[in-house]
Chains A and B, each alone.
Chain A
C-alpha cells in the first residue's frame, strides 16, 4: 500500500468511525515520523551543516559557511598552488575494495546457497540458523581472528614455513616475485598488509548476508524448469547459464549492490589489513574527526561525498533494474 492509499484509508476510517482507532493511528504516525526525524534526518542535517564549518589550525573548528572543505576534497588544501587528488584516490579505493569484496562474496555464496536449497528442510534450517548466528560477530572480532590467522608466528606464514613451502619458494625463485608484490619480507611470506587480506576479510564479513539475501530467491526457483531443460538435452552448464541465472538475475544484482554499499563504510578491516597507500575515505573521515585533528568539518564533507557517491550507485542500480524488468 502506498503512502497516499494509506492516508485515504485513514481519512475514510476517520470519517466512518470517529472513535479512538483513527486517533491512535494518527498518534502512531506522528511518533514514527518523529523517530525518523530525530534519528535519521536530524543527524544527517547536522553532518551536512558541519561540513560547511571551518577548521582553525592548532585548535578546534567553528560554524561557518564555506565550500573550502568540498574544494579540498577534489583538489587538496593548497589549491590553486598545488593540486592533489588524494581524497578522490581514497574514494576510489573505497569503491575498489567494496566492489571486489561484494562480488567475491556473492559469487562464492551463490553455489553454496544453490546447494543449500536442495537440502532437506531441517538441514536447511540448521544451516540458516548457523549463518544467522555468525552475524553476531562484530567486525572487530572478525578482523582480530583473521589478524591471528595471517600472523607470522601463529598463522598462514607459519604454515608456509613449517611445511617447507617458504623454502621451496626461495629455491624456485618465486619468493623474489612475492617480495616484489609486497607479499614477503626477507624471512618469510607475509599477508599483512595486502589487498588479499583486505578483500578476504571484507567478503568474509558480508558472506552471511549474501547467503541470507540470496536464499529466498533461490529457494523459489521451480526445479521443474531446470528438469525440463535437462530433459530437452541441455547440459548442466547450459541450464545454469540459460535457465537458473536469468531467473535470479535481479536478486543477484540487488544483493551485490546492497553488500557493496554496506562495504563502502568498512573501517577496521581497512585500517588493519590495507596498506596506507590504499586507505579509503572511511579511514580518512575517522582520522579527521578524532581528537588528534579535530577537523570535523572536513570529515563531514568527506562523509557527505561518500554518501553522494553511494547514492549515485544506488540510483544507477535502480535504473538498471527497471530497464531489465522492462525487457
Chain B
C-alpha cells in the first residue's frame, strides 16, 4: 500500500508538473478584469450578452461585480478604498456620482486616452474631464420617462397635464428624491430649464410649483420596484419611470406605456471609471474601447435596453429598435446645481414634501 501511494503521488506529481509547464503560456495570456454594473436584470444581461463578446474579441476574462446602483456604490467604494481594498477594477457611475467621486479624490484613476481611441466615436461630452485628467468614458444612457396606464388615461401631451387634478387626483407615482428628475421636468415645463436651477430663487420657485402637484401623487417612490409594483397593481395610473424597463414591462403585457411629452424626458448616462490603485489599466482601456464601438452600443441597446451614446447612423439599429430605447426631446439633468447647491436643494425639497 505505501508503495502504491508513493507511486500515485509520483504520478500525479509528474502530471502536475507536466500540466503546469503546458499551462504556463496559457496562464500568461489569461488576463482578467472585474467590472461593476447595477445588479439584477441589468447585470445579468451584461453577463450573458456583452462580456462574452468582449472575451471573444480580446481574450480578457470578465468577473462581474454587483453594484446596488450608482450612488450607494460610491459609499461602498469609498469605504473599501479607505480600508485598502479594490472591490472592482471598473465601476459604472452616473455623471453626478462620478463628479463626486472625482472631487473626493483617490477613488477613480485618470485614464490614458491614447489607449482608448474608440472613445472618439462618442460625443466629447461623454468623456469626463476630472481634476486629474480624463476619469470616465461614457458607457450607455438611459431615460427617465413619462409613463401611463393606457387602460385608464389618454396619452398625456405635456408634463403640465400631471397638474390637472380632474385627470390625476391621487394617481401619480413620482420620484421621492430631490434629484430623481421631477425638478428637471418642472423646470423644463414651466421655467427656463436648468438655467432656472442655478439660483436659489429659481429653485424655490420650481419647488413651489412641484408642491401644487402633491394632491395628485399617490406614490413617492425611492426604489424602482415600488413603482413597478404600483403600476402593475393599479395603485398609480401615471408617473415617471425608466424608459427601457417600462418598454419591457409593456412587452410582458402589463398596463404601462412610456411616452415623450412635448418637453421631453430626462436623459442621464453612465460612465466606466477605473478604480484608483487597480493594476488593470490596460485591460480597462481595452474594455472601454470595446464598449465605445458602435456595434457594442447597438448590442447593449438591443439586449439591455439602454440608449446608444453614438450617433444612430453609426449603428445598425432599426428605427423601431432605436425608438424602443431612445427618443426626443431629451432633458439633461441640472448636474451643476445638484452638486454645488445640494444641501439647499435637498432641505427645500424635503421641507416641501413635509408640509401638509
- Nearest-Cβ distance from residue A186 to partner chain B, whole angstroms: 5
- Inter-chain contact A294/B354, CB cutoff 8 Å: no
- Inter-chain contact A185/B218, CB cutoff 8 Å: yes
- Nearest-Cβ distance from residue A267 to partner chain B, whole angstroms: 11
Closest to B180 in A: A292
Chain B residues within 8 Å of chain A by Cβ, number: 44
B contact residues around A182 at 8 Å (CB): 170
CA distance A204 to B77 in the complex (A): 37
User: Does any Cβ of B come within 8 Å of A77's Cβ?
Assistant: yes
| Stretch with Cβ within 8 A of A (4 or more), from B242-250, B316-324, B335-343 | B335-343
Interface of B is mostly: helix
B-contact 0/1 string along A174-197, CB 8 Å cutoff: 000001001011110010110000
| Stretch with Cβ within 8 A of B (4 or more), from A51-59, A165-173, A211-219, A244-252 | A51-59
A contact residues around B232 at 8 Å (CB): 153
User: Does any Cβ of B come within 8 Å of A272's Cβ?
Assistant: yes
- Inter-chain contact A190/B73, CB cutoff 8 Å: no
- Nearest-Cβ distance from residue B103 to partner chain A, whole angstroms: 4
Closest to A90 in B: B354
Interface residues of A in 139-178 (CB under 8 A from B): 147-148, 151-154
A contact residues around B340 at 8 Å (CB): 57-58
Interface of A is mostly: loop
User: Does any Cβ of A come within 8 Å of B8's Cβ?
Assistant: no
- Inter-chain contact A77/B170, CB cutoff 8 Å: no
User: Does any Cβ of B come within 8 Å of A11's Cβ?
Assistant: no
A contact residues around B176 at 8 Å (CB): 276
- Inter-chain contact B71/A291, CB cutoff 8 Å: yes
CA distance A292 to B342 in the complex (A): 10
B contact residues around A58 at 8 Å (CB): 99-100, 103, 339-340, 342
CA distance A290 to B346 in the complex (A): 13
User: Does any Cβ of A come within 8 Å of B234's Cβ?
Assistant: yes
User: Does any Cβ of B come within 8 Å of A321's Cβ?
Assistant: no
CA distance A84 to B235 in the complex (A): 33
- Inter-chain contact B339/A84, CB cutoff 8 Å: no
- Inter-chain contact A185/B169, CB cutoff 8 Å: yes
Interface residues of B in 73-100 (CB under 8 A from A): 73-75, 78, 97, 99-100
A contact residues around B351 at 8 Å (CB): 76, 84, 86
A contact residues around B69 at 8 Å (CB): 291
* Top 4 A-B residue pairs of the complex, sorted by shortest distance between their CB atoms: A291-B71, A58-B339, A59-B103, A185-B170
Q: Given known contacts A55-B343, A192-B218, what 15 new A-B pairs fall within 8 Å (CB)?
A: A56-B103, A58-B100, A58-B340, A59-B100, A76-B347, A78-B344, A151-B234, A152-B233, A153-B233, A154-B233, A184-B170, A190-B218, A291-B69, A291-B70, A294-B74
Between-chain CB contacts (< 8 Å), 18 pairs: A57-B341, A58-B103, A58-B339, A60-B104, A77-B343, A147-B229, A152-B233, A153-B233, A185-B170, A187-B171, A192-B218, A276-B176, A276-B353, A290-B71, A290-B72, A290-B75, A291-B69, A293-B342
Chain A residues within CB distance 8 Å of chain B: 55-60, 76-78, 84, 86, 89-90, 147-148, 151-154, 179, 182, 184-187, 190, 192-193, 271-272, 276-277, 279, 284, 287, 289-295
